[in-house]
Amino acid sequence: MPVVVPAFSRIGEENAFAVLARATALAQAGRDVINLGIGQPDMPTPPHVVEAAVKALQDGHHGYTPATGILPLREAVARDLDRRLGVQVSPDSVMIVPGGKVTMFMAILMFGEPGAEILYPDPGFPIYRSMIEFTGATPVPVPIREENGFAFSAEETLALITPRTRLLILNSPANPTGGVTPKAEIDKLVAGLAAHPDVTIMSDEIYGTMTYDGERHHTLLAYPEIRDRLIYLDGASKTYAMTGWRLGWSVWPAPLYDAARKLAVNSFSCVNAATQWAGIAALDGPQDCVAAMMAEFDRRRLLVVEGLNKLPGVSCITPKGAFYAFPNISETGWKAKALASALLEEAGVATIGGPDFGIHGEGYLRLSYANSAENIARALERIGSFLEGNRR
């Protein structure tokens, strides 16, 4: 008899990893593939951060650390939140975790159970829905609409709350759309949440340093009225080009902090010690590396949006954050996943079909501009020729 674990029939994954594997296989077979599928900066981790990790290893930081992370890093996170966002958090509410994903994993495990409803953005990061389904809770998608500039709508979100809603997941700046929700909309949402005191909020702000056009990041941490039921998710993966290091952090309300600590003790024990020391160097060190990366992303953002809007049947609003464009391809006549697959196999360009981010992603593709300007220009040319030759 094969071993069957029923809960695992409900867990999903991230198609971006499958696209990456296919793109790599095609490249290994000699094909010239341009990868606009991947959600990680193409720059290396800043050298002073790497040096801090090397030094930590040489200094003998080889053992377990506290499960919640070393105090100097938790203090550095608190300093960063104060400096960057003007919010005060106690280092005792900060938890160091191996990547941004782990905070959502913990939060969804805490609140997800059969009968519970969890609201999440759609299109949105695919792990939200996957984990909600895994716990047996009911996933309730909150539509994220192009006509709102891919910001979430306070009204639409509040209208979906029921007495069974346990957790509300928010994400701005957003993956996969690059949408940034304006402060006025967040104000409205927080005001409306006063009527729903039993709903916990998880705010995924992993792209919080990645906004454009002078747009400021508005953190949910800035609202004292929800601080006792807000889980803040952040990390080093995107801001400091550290996806492979596995370093994230979260801020928890006091009653949940110990539950998060226990989940850490029961799973990963602690984040790699040298990585934690690197995190201190990243947060406390010079931030010009972040500014330089953002200037480069900004240049590419304009290139990609301008190029996309010239393609037949394609229109793309200018993303205000992260490093993704989310063009509307519905006028091409192609279904999004079929187009993404044909572009990879026939044109050698890796993108992700919008439906990989939820049902409201149909009609869109996600293009990451974490690739060189030259490659972006070549990719746009290839997509253009493909669409010209394959009209539906």
Contacts of ligand PLP in 133-172 (CB under 6 A):
171
Cβ nearer to ligand PLP, comparing 203 with 332: 203
* Nearest-approach distance from CB 127 to ligand PLP, in angstroms: 7
Answer whether 354's CB lies under 8 Å from 361's CB: yes
Q: Which two tokens stand for residue 273?
A: 């010690």
Q: Which two tokens stand for residue 153?
A: 């709508």
Residues 126, 248, 319, 353: which binds ligand PLP (CB under 6 A)? 248
Nearest CA among 259, 320, 121, 264 for reference residue 202: 121
* Nearest-approach distance from CB 272 to ligand PLP, in angstroms: 14
Peptide bond before residue 319 is cis, with ω within 30 degrees of 0: no
Give strand pairing partners of 138.
117
Q: Which two tokens stand for residue 131?
A: 């984990």
Size of the site for ligand PLP (CB under 6 A): 13
Q: Which two tokens stand for residue 216?
A: 């400021």
Residues 243, 272, 276, 351: which binds ligand PLP (CB under 6 A)? 243
Residues 235, 327, 358, 363: which binds ligand PLP (CB under 6 A)? 235
* Nearest-approach distance from CB 186 to ligand PLP, in angstroms: 17
Cβ nearer to ligand PLP, comparing 272 with 332: 272
Asked if residue 209 binds ligand PLP (CB under 6 A), the reply is no
Cβ nearer to ligand PLP, comparing 106 with 387: 106
* Nearest-approach distance from CB 165 to ligand PLP, in angstroms: 21
Contacts of ligand PLP in 82-121 (CB under 6 A):
99-101
* Nearest-approach distance from CB 331 to ligand PLP, in angstroms: 27
Cβ nearer to ligand PLP, comparing 179 with 248: 248
Asked if residue 250 binds ligand PLP (CB under 6 A), the reply is no
Asked if residue 175 binds ligand PLP (CB under 6 A), the reply is yes
Residues 80, 117, 133, 204: which binds ligand PLP (CB under 6 A)? 204
* Nearest-approach distance from CB 2 to ligand PLP, in angstroms: 31
DSSP letter for 60, please.
T
The angle, 0 to 180 degrees and rounded to 10, between the axes of the packed helices 254-266 and 100-111 is: 110
Q: Which two tokens stand for residue 292?
A: 């330089």
Cβ nearer to ligand PLP, comparing 248 with 348: 248
Nearest CA among 298, 301, 331 for reference residue 313: 331
Residues 35, 237, 332, 351: which binds ligand PLP (CB under 6 A)? 237
CA-only gyration radius of the chain, Å: 21
Q: Which two tokens stand for residue 288?
A: 């010009």
Q: What is the rounded CA–CA span in Å between residue 180 and residue 3? A: 44
Cβ nearer to ligand PLP, comparing 37 with 327: 37
Cβ nearer to ligand PLP, comparing 158 with 233: 233
DSSP letter for 223, please.
-
Q: What is the rounded CA–CA span in Å between residue 228 and residue 160? A: 22
Cβ nearer to ligand PLP, comparing 78 with 127: 127
Residues 49, 118, 206, 230: which binds ligand PLP (CB under 6 A)? 206
Q: What is the rounded CA–CA span in Å between residue 124 and residue 360? A: 9
Give the x-and-dash track for 26-45 against ligand PLP (CB under 6 A): -------------x------
Half-sphere exposure of 142 (CA within 13 A, CB side): 27
Cβ nearer to ligand PLP, comparing 249 with 386: 249
Report the sign of the C-alpha dihedral through residues 42, 39, 369, 25, in that order: positive
Q: What is the rounded CA–CA span in Å between residue 104 and residue 205? A: 11
Residues 74, 96, 118, 125: which binds ligand PLP (CB under 6 A)? 125
Write phi, then psi, for 204 (nearest 5 degrees). -90, 105
Cβ nearer to ligand PLP, comparing 56 with 206: 206
Contacts of ligand PLP in 253-312 (CB under 6 A):
none
Nearest CA among 75, 68, 70, 67 for reference residue 59: 70
Q: What is the rounded CA–CA span in Å between residue 202 and residue 169? A: 5
Interaction site with ligand PLP (CB under 6 A): 39, 99-101, 125, 171, 175, 204, 206, 235, 237, 243, 248
